[in-house]
Amino acid sequence: MTRIAFIGLGNMGGGMAARLVGAGHEVAAFDLSAEALERAAARGCTPAASAREAVAGAEAVITMLPAGPQVRAVYAADIRGVAPAGALLIDGSTIDVESARHVASEATAAGYVFADAPVSGGTAGAEAGTLAFMVGCE
C-alpha cells in the first residue's frame, strides 16, 4: 500500500482519488470545497484540513487543479519542502507549458521526482479507471 496525497477533488480528481482507494492505497485528500472533501471521505479517502497536512508523509503527491496559477501556488506553498524528500510528485492538471516546466524545474531542484501527466478521458474515465495519461518526466 502506498500513501498518496491527492489535491484537487473536482470533476476529475474525485473519481481518480476514489479509484486509488479501491486499488488498496491510503489516500489523504484535500480540496478547498467542503462538499468535495465529504464526497471523497464517503469513498474511502482520509480528508485533510490542508494541502500541507495531506502531503506530510506521502510517498506520492497527485495534483489535479484547474489551471497553472493554482498548480504553481500549491507547489510553492504546500508541497515543495513539505512532502518527504524523494517523493514522487505528479501533476495531472491540464495547464500551460510554462507553468508545467516551472513546477517541474522547481520540484526537481528540490530533490523530488516530478511527472507532468495531464489526462484524457473525462469524468467517466476518471470514475471507470480508464483515463489516458500523457506523461513527461526525466
The pLDDT value given to residue 79: 98
- Distance CA(129)–CA(136), nearest Å, equals 20
Per-domain residue ranges for the chain?
3-137
* Domain at 3-137, CATH class: alpha beta
The pLDDT value given to residue 110: 96
Sites in the chain below the pLDDT cut of 70:
none
pTM of the model: 0.95
Q: State the DSSP string of 66-85.
A: SSHHHHHHHIIIIITTTSPT
The pLDDT value given to residue 76: 97
